[in-house]
């Protein structure tokens, strides 16, 4: 456990919730197991039990733990964790191997984005298409890696919104929280950045043409390209 800090209560509350959350996701505290009691957390973080309780309430709201009087706080099964919560997803990213996180992200994208692209082609409205066009334009105009990543994330968020399916909205959190780091990695690793622009353009053109089948194909090709950039770099012959 960390040493005492002098941060304000609200920061301590956030820090404590994150600390416990990451350790749960990392497996230090297993489902069904009890967490250290409030006094132990308070001593480790140099804070009051009130702050500890607020941090535990945060974890309860995210489905990671349950707390009962005279029993303590117990880690809930993984099936009950709200992994799509912005904080939980962020903690998950921090707690696991980066390559494993990217792989999991790609698996989810494979399941969702081709279908979302199809729906976007079939259901998008004028304003949603304009948002997608703007994001693509910003990708082409980007002069730095950071600008490119921001525009890329916006493109995929716009595509998800253009699908016009309320049940897809929670997955927008994955786009927002997970793809930023993924695209930052692939952008710096991509030897042919113009190719990525062309692949996004194919998705845009399919959506613009209201061609669902072409949208699926274009998105799968884009995902193939990302998979290639995530593959370990060969050291053969070096």
What's the pLDDT band for 10 if we cut at 50, 70, 90? Answer: low
35: left (phi over 0), alpha (psi -120 to 50) or beta: beta
The class level of CATH for 9-80 reads mainly alpha
Region 152-169: what's the mean pLDDT? 93
Q: What value does the CA radius of gyration of the chain take, rounded to a whole number of Å?
A: 21
In whole numbers, what is the pLDDT of the chain averaged over residues? Answer: 88
β-pairing, 72-75 vs 65-68, is antiparallel
Question: For residue 107, what pLDDT is reported?
Answer: 92
C-alpha–C-alpha distance, residues 20 and 57, integer Å? 12
Q: Mean pLDDT check: name the lowest of 8-12, 14-18, 26-30.
A: 8-12
- Give the CA angle between residues 110, 111, 112 to the nearest 5°: 95
The CATH superfamily of 98-230 is GntR ligand-binding domain-like (1.20.120.530)
Angstrom CA distances, 229 to 140, 222, 226, 236, stand at 20, 11, 5, 17
Give the model confidence (pLDDT) of 86-140 as tens digits: 889 888 877 778 888 888 889 989 999 999 999 999 999 999 999 999 999 999 9
Ranges of H-type helices in the chain: 9-26, 38-45, 49-61, 86-95, 98-123, 126-141, 145-162, 172-189, 193-208, 212-230
Domain boundaries defined on the chain: 9-80, 98-230
C-alpha–C-alpha distance, residues 171 and 22, integer Å? 21
Asked if pLDDT for residue 150 goes beyond 70, the answer is yes
Question: For residue 100, what pLDDT is reported?
Answer: 83
31: left (phi over 0), alpha (psi -120 to 50) or beta: beta
Cβ neighbours for 11, distance < 8 A, ≥ 6 positions apart: none
C-alpha–C-alpha distance, residues 138 and 232, integer Å? 29
200's tokens:
């996004």
C-alpha–C-alpha distance, residues 208 and 197, integer Å? 16
Other C-beta atoms closer than 10 Å to the C-beta of 21 total 26
């Amino acid at each position: 456990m960390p040493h005492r800090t002098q941060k304000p209560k609200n920061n301590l509350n956030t820090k404590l919730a994150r600390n416990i959350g990451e350790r749960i996701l990392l497996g230090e505290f297993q489902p069904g197991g009890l967490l250290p009691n409030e006094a132990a957390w308070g001593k480790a973080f140099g804070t009051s039990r009130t702050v500890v309780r607020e941090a535990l309430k945060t974890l309860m709201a995210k489905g990671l733990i349950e707390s009962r009087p005279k029993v303590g706080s117990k880690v809930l099964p993984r099936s009950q964790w709200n992994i799509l919560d912005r904080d939980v997803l962020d903690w998950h990213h921090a707690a696991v191997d980066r390559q494993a996180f990217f792989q999991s992200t790609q698996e989810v994208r494979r399941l969702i984005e081709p279908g979302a692209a199809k729906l976007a082609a079939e259901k998008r409205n004028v304003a949603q298409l304009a948002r997608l066009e703007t994001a693509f334009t910003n990708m082409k105009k980007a002069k730095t890696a950071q600008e490119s990543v921001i525009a890329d994330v916006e493109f995929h968020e716009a595509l998800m919104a253009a699908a016009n399916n309320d049940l897809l909205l929670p997955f927008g959190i994955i786009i927002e929280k997970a793809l930023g780091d993924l695209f930052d990695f692939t952008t710096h690793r991509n030897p042919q950045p113009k190719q990525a622009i062309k692949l996004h353009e194919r998705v845009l053109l399919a959506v613009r043409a209201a061609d669902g089948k072409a949208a699926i194909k274009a998105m799968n090709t884009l995902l193939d390209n990302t998979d290639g950039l995530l593959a370990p770099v060969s050291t053969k012959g070096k």
